[in-house]
A and B are shown apart, each in its own frame.
Chain A
Amino acid sequence: MNRVVALRAGPAVAEPMVEVRGLSKVYPGGVEALSDITLNFPKGKLTTLLGPSGCGKTTLLKIVAGLIPASAGEVSVGGRKVTGPGPERAFVFQDFALLPWATVLRNVAFGLELRGTGRWEREATARRHIEEVGLKGFEDAYPHQLSGGMRQRVGLARALAVDAEVLLMDEPFSAVDEQTRRKFQEDLLALVAGKGKTFLFVTHSIEEAVYVSNRIVLLSRRPSRVSEIIEPDIPRDLPPDRIRRHSAYIDTVEEIWQGLKRYLE
């Protein structure tokens, strides 16, 4: 294979925002989902977890979110050990997880509502983020009146509204159609570039991973370990079509596919 750009593996240069040390997870019933995972997620970057289905990506993300406890090892965010959910982390759900009885405005403001932020302030913040994700004019709509792509924008706006430093996204675009998805990916790139937030991203799509990620962590089959870390060396300031035709993009996609193929049988 003719590789134009070298792929750098190994530790990232940026300071780590999320540190995972010796993490293992055995579910009650004996399913060993994760086995001794050690990983850093650099600050201000988007790191993608990629691996065969059922390898424990969601599990890892939920442990980082503080939603489920680890069996061994620990996670720290910004230097502080994770013992439960915290305001510095926000989750974007695969199935959106919107309140069906609440308007877009209330859904986006929900995190702030839980924190006890006053109504006027939280709604002003929510309106700002609704506009940011391109849903201006839909503040009073209900989730069932929106398309899948729009619903996920609401989910994203809700995560942005609480102004968390770490955004945890579990296959956020898998339930939206292909065109919407591409638009999402472009918006996500802009978000990563503009916000300085740290993103932990899970996807099944190799192309998506290579397109949006600063760093891709390949996980092996369950019980999963880190099998490889890839940092695609793609100039992010190119227009979307140039990125998708860039040789580094194409080569990286191919390399990851070769790496993952052996887990399929």
Chain B
Amino acid sequence: MENIIEVKHLSYRYGKEQRPALNDVSFDVHRGEWLAIVGHNGSGKSTLAKSLDGLLPFTEGTVTVDGLELSPATVWQVREKIGMIFQNPDNQFVGATVEDDVAFGLENRQVTREDMIPRVKAAIEEVGMHDFAQREPSSLSGGQKQRVALAGIVAITPSILILDEATSMLDPLGRHDMLELVSKLRRDQKLTVISITHDIDEAANADRILVIDDGQLVQEASPAEIFALGEKLVDLGLDLPFTAKLKAALKKRGIEPPTNYQTMAEMEEWLWQSLSNT
């Protein structure tokens, strides 16, 4: 499979910090895949994401995005290919209204106003925010602001979408809607998605999961392999899903639940069956 991003021996150290935030990290991202990156707080996930977009001036290692090696000379070209969504919905909303915010990236690229108007409109429609085009950010929910951020990215048509804990400040429903939207955009726009997350459902959407700890890549696996770890998921920096918490509680009472990963519905089914057997 073709690689859209190649990272080789990447290291980064903030200022005079003793410990490197990233320590000799190497991995590839395949074109069109959904890659999840998990790890504890402070393990270096955001540092890694920013490095990919040339937002941090790493000194060791190389990052190649779509055939372009990241350097001060290529950084703006690389940013054409990457759209990033950050954790806090408020701190990335630049425009005064939804429309203005979606237009922000286009204005930076000096797109003419005639071209901007249809592109802004289409992007807002794509994320289902057409009824809110004139709204100010203070009248939107966190989930709606993240949708607007996605529209801003759709408008500039990058090939890679990086989500840095983009759903972590949303309520469960907002989180669910956001993931659905990302899945839809990924299909429509043929995006490669890199999602950094603590959310088990978001990680479950991925084709592949990378586990990062203390600035180092410690594991690479499929969701099924990772979720088979059960309670040890917490050690990887994932929030234990409800079903896993339930299993732990059952074990404590001497009831032996199945060990493989189960969805809510499967768990419910199993519970019904074992309850009616007794």
| Mutual binders A and B | no
